[in-house]
Amino acid sequence: MAGKKYYWFKLKDNFFIDPRMKKLRRMAGGNTYTTILLKIMLETLKTDGILIYEAIENTLSEELSLKLDEEEIDVSATLMFMNQMKLIEEIDKNKYLLPEVVKAIGRESDSAERVRKFRERKKSKLLHCNENVTIEKEVKLDLKKETLSKSLSSKNKQLKKEDFNSFKKRIKHIYEGKPLVSGALDYANTTVISIASTGYLFNEVSQKDLTPEDAKRVWKWVFENQGKLELI
């Protein structure tokens, strides 16, 4: 059993601004004539743009009036206009060609339609899938950032709970004789400081102990920035 076929014609985007259509619409009853013109075009789709007079009625206009459910006088006026504008040509007895329809006609079998719709659904599904994957990646990234943020926040809170004296004692134990700060002080970017065995802060560059005032400032800075410097 042969499959059904679906027919259409592509209406150009300049259809209504075509001078011929403007002229038709400006005539008395022009909107009705334009509608009839489009109906006649559609009537010829299955015959490749050829209008066939079947002699069901005495004249072509009467027959089209019957088929299109339009007044015969309006159909007659539309056919007259089409003939004047060369939108219809008689090519044989009882056969008329509509050139504009021939240029824009299209057809599709029901099987082709099913294949086309399947491809459209598949494409739509693929786009939707890609969109979901992107969203999922973004959500995972946001969760990872949130987890990291919470972890750092928790770490900072734990550090803040430790009092200065406990922190200082622990740092002395861990970093005795090792570099503690390198380029971290706003007043001496090249300074490398270590903790001497006696517990004093020692300037590795000048080979001198820090003054009590400088030592206090360094300890204060290190304590306040311990989480950022990851000294612990």
Burial of 53: CB neighbours in 10 Å, binned 0-12, 13-18, 19+: middle
User: What are the pLDDT digits (tens) for 43-90?
Assistant: 998 888 899 999 999 999 999 999 999 999 999 999 999 999 999 999
Which of 41, 73, 107 is the last residue in one of the domains?
A: 107
The predicted pLDDT at position 226 comes to: 65
Q: In sequence order, which ranges of the chain are alpha helices (DSSP H)?
A: 19-26, 30-43, 60-68, 72-84, 99-104, 110-161, 164-175, 212-224, 226-229
Q: Establish if 138 belongs to a structural domain.
A: no
Return the DSSP state at 47.
Answer: G
Pairwise pLDDT comparison (165 vs 81), residue with the higher score: 81
The closest alpha carbon to 40, from 116, 93, 96, belongs to 96
Is pLDDT above 80 for 16? yes
Mean of all residue pLDDT scores within the chain: 76
Neighbours of 135 (CB within 10 A): 10
- Residue 118 domain flag: no
Q: How far apart are CA 168 and CA 181, in angstroms?
A: 14
- Picking from 99, 116, 108, 106, the residue whose alpha carbon sits closest to that of residue 8 is 106
194 within a domain of the structure (yes/no): yes
More confident residue, 62 or 196: 62
Using the predicted structure, report yes or no on whether residue 31 has a pLDDT greater than 60.
yes
CA atoms of 66 and 77, how far apart (whole Å): 15
Domain boundary at 64, 86, 107, which? Answer: 107
Q: What is the count of structural domains for the chain?
A: 2
**CATH code, domain with 12:** 1.10.10
pLDDT digits (tens, 9 = 90+) for 176-192: 766 665 444 544 444 66
Instruction: Identify whether 32 is part of a domain.
Output: yes
Q: Which amino acid is at 145?
A: K
180 and 97 within one domain:
no
Report yes or no: 75 and 64 within 8 Å, Cβ to Cβ. Answer: yes
Least Cα distance to 172 among 190, 198, 191 occurs for: 198
Q: Note whether 170 and 102 are same-domain residues.
A: no
Q: Tell me: do 100 and 194 sit in the same domain.
A: no
List 105's β-bridge partners, or say none: 9
In a domain? residue 124 = no
Amino acid 6: pLDDT: 59
Backbone angles phi, psi at 80, to 5 degrees: -65, -45
78 belongs to a structural domain? yes
**Do residues 84 and 13 share a domain?**
yes
Co-location of 87 and 11 in the same domain: yes
User: What residue numbers bound the domain in which 221 lies?
Assistant: 164-229
Answer whether residue 145 is part of any domain: no
Overall average pLDDT of the 111-130 stretch? 63
pLDDT the model gives residue 188? 42
What confidence score (pLDDT) does residue 178 get?
A: 66
Contact yes or no for 44/101 (Cβ under 8 A): yes
pTM passes above 0.85: no
In a domain, 156, yes or no: no
> For the segment 97-119, what is each residue's pLDDT rounded down to a tens digit?
998 888 887 665 454 455 556 66
What is the Cα–Cα distance from 84 to 161, expressed in whole angstroms?
A: 96
